[in-house]
A and B are shown apart, each in its own frame.
Chain A
Amino acid sequence: MLPGTDVAAVLADISAGRGTWNAETNRYEVNGRTYAVESTGTVFPVPGPGLVKLSRSEYKVLKQLIGSDGDINTARDALRRDPSVSDADWSSALEVFKHHKSYKGGA
């Protein structure tokens, strides 16, 4: 979820009946974004404006970048022998990481 996306407001809109339910797709549409619901009642966003879908390897890179407090070289060293991570994963994760508070430049 990128900064500026007000999830709490969206959930409040759905609870207040301001979302549009699409029975064919089993999705709510609220303010241009789409959400679905699990059997437990958990609401989750579907990729769209303000939400970037990452593959698990891209997410692994992003988590490592955050865990390394924005030190890109440290993060790269931690994952350098991980066979599930490719150069393309780094590119995608870094694009998202630029929005994180611990980003210090260098991407």
Chain B
Amino acid sequence: MTYGIYFDSRTPAEALRQALHAVYNVPLDLVYAGTHEGLNDYPGPDPIALITPVGGQFAHEFSAGDQLRELTKATELELAQAICRVARSRALLDDGSPAPDYWFLVAADGSYGHVQTDPDSDDLTILYALEPISGEPDLPVVPPPDWARTW
């Protein structure tokens, strides 16, 4: 399995690295934080997780594969919740549905729910929540009509 999680831009990448180390004891030199173009010049061992910059509100793209899974035993959602709690961050991740703009938003307290992102934005931008998320009480909630429900 792979991980693809987008963490809030307001959280420093280093805080995410440290959280991964604190929660799952992942050696820091196995977590690369930087541009994808700079990865081949990284002097450390081959990393098992990447934190690379992208644009928008959720500008840290966290990606990893089977090696991280073996080390953490965590699902993508479990890992996002754990990192958000420790780093006091928020994250977006795939909700598993085929809808390209429905995501799970994980709040800083680990609570989560479906959100709608802006289909007209190149960056991940939340329009509203599709269901209440206890850790995001200020986020407007617009439940989808039945014909737009994919879960």
Contacts and interface: CB of A to CB of B under 8 A. Distances in A.
A and B: interacting chains: yes
A42 B101 contact: yes
B46 interface: yes
Given A44-B100, A84-B65, A39 B148 contact: yes
Which of A40, A42, A46, A55 is most buried by chain B, counting CB atoms within 10 A of its CB? Answer: A40
Contacts of B144: 38-39
Given A81-B40, A84-B63, A85-B65, A38 B116 contact: yes
Contacts of B46: 81, 83
Interface string B116-151: 100100000001001000000000001011111110
B113 to A, nearest CB: 14
Nearest to A34: B98
Interface in A71-92: 77-78, 80-86
A39 B36 CA distance: 34
Contacts, number: 81
A86 B39 contact: no
B64 A44 contact: no
A59 to B, nearest CB: 10
B16 interface: no
B50 A82 contact: yes
B37 to A, nearest CB: 8
A85 B4 CA distance: 12
Given A57-B2, A83-B68, A36 B99 contact: yes
9 contacts: A37-B148, A38-B100, A38-B150, A39-B130, A42-B119, A78-B37, A83-B46, A83-B67, A86-B65
Interface of A: 23, 26, 36-40, 42, 44, 46-47, 53, 55-57, 60, 77-78, 80-86
